[in-house]
Structure 1
Amino acid sequence: MTSLVQPAFPFVNVTVDASALIPTAQRAPGVVAVVGNADGATAPPSTPLVVTSHDDAINLFGKAKAATALSSSLDLVLQQDPQPSKIYGVRTPTAGNYAAALTGLEAADDVTFVCLANETSIGAATAGATAATGLHALTEHVENMSAAGSRRMAVAMIDPTLPRTATYVTDVLATTSYGSLKSPTGRLILIAARGATTNAAVTPAPVADAAAAAMGAIAGYAPSTSVVLKQVRGFTVPVTQQYVPAEVTALAAAGAIPLIDPALIPGSGLFFGDGGAFSADPAFNYVDERRAIDQIEFQLRAGLIGTVGDARITKAGLTTVRVRVESILGPLLLGGVIDAFSVNIPLLSILTLPDSARSATDQAQVVTARQNRQVSVLISVTYGPAVHRLNVTLAPQF
């Protein structure tokens, strides 16, 4: 006869539930992608490949070990300090076919910055079945990907070879020129570096990809760090081509970021002269503001995904949701990324009341939420931006 009694050993049966050990998804805020022409390269086209060194850049995207537009731009990204957390290179299938290469980049959902290798042509927007070209392909890509949930920013540059004129700023930023690229959501960073060259001793001097270098410099810093007066490495601008104070002010006022060599900083180098985004939306006028909001949004989505399907629409369940939000935003507050925050779940306020104290409207909101299984959470965050200008009053006296 078989006994139904379990054997004594090992006396205590323990089942391990490792669900609480699953880490929260993280998104590195400084992942960049350079898309460009590299005819004759060994890398497959329209395929994002990670680059960690000059050897990677030249072996994957060079032509017979010689530099191409794409490998040269990747080298500039690699020269930044601090460097981005990850660097992708994407080769176009044919010269100038950025739309196809950018399509290949769509699945790389960790990308936060994109630029086109040494591209200054504005191109044309999508028209029917005709894909966008030039920098319009870049701006459309980041806008479309961001709208789909993969938040990205584009970095482009004003043609460094455009000569200095009395109306330089007006000429390059007119609506029919680079002004037509203005982002409706603050997702474009437009760099101005007139005369930028990687080797001024060579004639003609090779044009430097200021956009790629600037992108690498920005991505190396935390999202809430202002880009103002951060250094961009890898190329130079002759003194005769550098912007005069009036041009610096006009470019910054228009949303472009001029690269300058200020006398107030010892030594010689190029620094961001402003921190603005080339934005058509006044709510997103600054690079760090756009980046910080994108990063906070991702942390909330990643941190709250575990509550979907588990947290119930009850007082206890929604309290758990509120506590989870506070645990996500709390470290940002302690780290100085944000200055304050509040969490409001209207339905939780209703569920806190006894049934007898709820109005008909309150009860209807509870019923609707439970039928639709949908709860609204309002999170208010106070962002404390960095100082961009100090107004000092000097009052000498005897």
Structure 2
Amino acid sequence: MAVRYVRVKPLVNLFAPAVRAFGNIAVIGRATTAVTKPPVPVLFTGPDDAHKTFPGELADSIDLAFRQTPGPTLVYGVPVTADAPDWAGALEVVAGLNVQLVMLANTPLNKDTKVAGGPIDLLSAHVTAVSNTGADGLERMGVAMLESGVAKADDILTNERMVYIAHKSTQDAAAAVAGTIAGYEPAVSLLLKPVNIVSPPFTPAEIEALNGTETDDSGPAGKGVNWLTSPALIPGNGVYMGEGYTGDPGGGKRYMDIVRMVDDLSFRLKAQLIHSIGNVRISRSGLRALVAQMEAILTPLLDADVLNSFEVVVPVLTLLDKDPATLSAAEAAAIHAAEVQRLVQVLAAVEYAGAVHRISITLKFD
């Protein structure tokens, strides 16, 4: 055997961060079949099995969600009894499912469904509670429709995790819109995305009632309700999303792609950094490795134009970079506290590159 002065034995221990789905749907609906307590969710990858398992209202909504292009990959059907639906019990079951969108089949928002304890009220509370206190990756949004033909945005339950849709269809518009949202990555705006549904267009006056008044110099108005539209400028006679609002027009996350992107980015960062727990040292080299792992998630988003910029700051690393002889008593205490508590604070600021929703053009003829 030849003499080898340097011997290398490679050991491969690659770490693949967990990946979060962004378009799984849970559809809760009335079923004509027997329903157990608690109900048993059934996973579907296509509409045919849904019609065999839950014929009727629930299957129709699942079918419509799957018929969107692009559409969802996975849809959970959760049955409730037709005569006395236990919405709260079904939502409790859905709380543990790996879904990002939740809707109630053929259940429009009205005075009866939005009251305290009503199905839409329960849905709104569900998406908020699970997103804020549920397990990692279970953040979600709810989708609900108005009554067919209703052009009024005053009666919604204000919630940035709810999506409301106005329509003039005899079909379950919430299912169609949920399927549409599920087909797009989180950072994609839902404005003018096609919806496979039959819905006559609203009049300009009705859209103004839903959206509010806009001028040439203003941005989108918005009252928290989206609508289905058929723009004459788009060839064909399709139906499209009129906007991409969340149900909180006055909040900082007034567009659903912002909410979805925050959920997705939060999960990506946590999935990337979980391997650092128990391994990375509170040292200059260890914390620089931590920053590099975060940059590995954020830089591709910057290159893809999803982010305009980002900055990652680790305060204790800034202190560790200083000459120990120049540290103040407070700074030395901060380093000591981080080492004793084994807690590292990281500040990450990202600038999101939102999509264009309005263009104002001034034509001057001389």
The structure 1 residue matched to 2:237, chosen from 248, 254, 268, is: 268
> In the alignment, residue 31 of structure 2 is paired with which amino acid?
A
The structure 1 residue matched to 2:26, chosen from 24, 33, 36, is: 33
TM-score by length of 1: 0.82
Calculate percent identity across the aligned residue pairs.
36
The structure 2 residue matched to 1:144, chosen from 126, 129, 140, is: 129
Distance 1:120 1:113 in 2: 16
Offset, 1:280: 5.6
Residue matched to 1:104: 93
Deviations 1:192-251 (A, max 9, x none): 003x0xxxxxxxxxx210011001001101111111110100x3124xxx3111321332
Deviations 1:165-216 (A, max 9, x none): xxx42xxx33xxx32x110xx111100003x0xxxxxxxxxx2100110010
Structure 2 stretches lacking a partner, 5+ long: 1-6, 212-221
Question: Structure 1 residues 124, 301: CA separation in 2 closer, same or farther (over 3 Å shift)?
Answer: same
Q: Is the 8 A contact 1:120 1:134 kept in 2?
A: no
* Larger Rg computed on CA atoms: 1
SS of structure 2 residue aligned to 1:232: coil
Distance 1:221 1:228 in 2: 11
Deviations 1:286-306 (A, max 9, x none): 011111111111100111111
Distance 1:43 1:138 in 2: 21
1:337 and 2:306 matched: yes
The structure 1 residue matched to 2:198, chosen from 211, 236, 239, is: 236
Residue matched to 1:250: 209
Distance 1:54 1:375 in 2: 48
Offset, 1:54: 2.3
Task: Show the 5 A alignment for 1:21-60.
Answer: 21-40=14-33, 46-60=39-53
Distance 2:46 2:140 in 1: 24
> In the alignment, residue 161 of structure 2 is paired with which amino acid?
R
Distance 1:31 1:121 in 2: 22
Distance 2:14 2:255 in 1: 37
Residue matched to 1:201: none
The structure 1 residue matched to 2:64, chosen from 73, 76, 94, is: 76
Residue matched to 1:356: 325
Question: Structure 1 residues 291, 395: CA separation in 2 closer, same or farther (over 3 Å shift)?
Answer: same
Offset, 1:42: 7.7
Residue matched to 1:8: none
Q: Is the 8 A contact 2:149 2:166 kept in 1?
A: no
> In the alignment, residue 250 of structure 1 is paired with which amino acid?
A
SS of structure 2 residue aligned to 1:107: coil
Task: Show the 5 A alignment for 1:184-333.
Answer: 186-194=160-168, 196=169, 207-233=170-196, 235-238=197-200, 242-252=201-211, 253-279=222-248, 281-333=250-302
Alpha-carbon RMSD:
2.2
Does 274-283 or 132-141 show the bigger shift? 274-283
Residue matched to 1:87: 75
Question: Structure 1 residues 161, 273: CA separation in 2 closer, same or farther (over 3 Å shift)?
Answer: closer
Q: Is the 8 A contact 1:43 1:61 kept in 2?
A: no
Deviations 1:259-315 (A, max 9, x none): 011111111121111111111652001011111111111100111111111111111
> In the alignment, residue 97 of structure 1 is paired with which amino acid?
D
1:116 and 2:104 matched: yes
Deviations 1:46-84 (A, max 9, x none): 22221122221111111xxxxx11100001001000111
SS of structure 2 residue aligned to 1:343: strand
Distance 1:287 1:298 in 2: 17
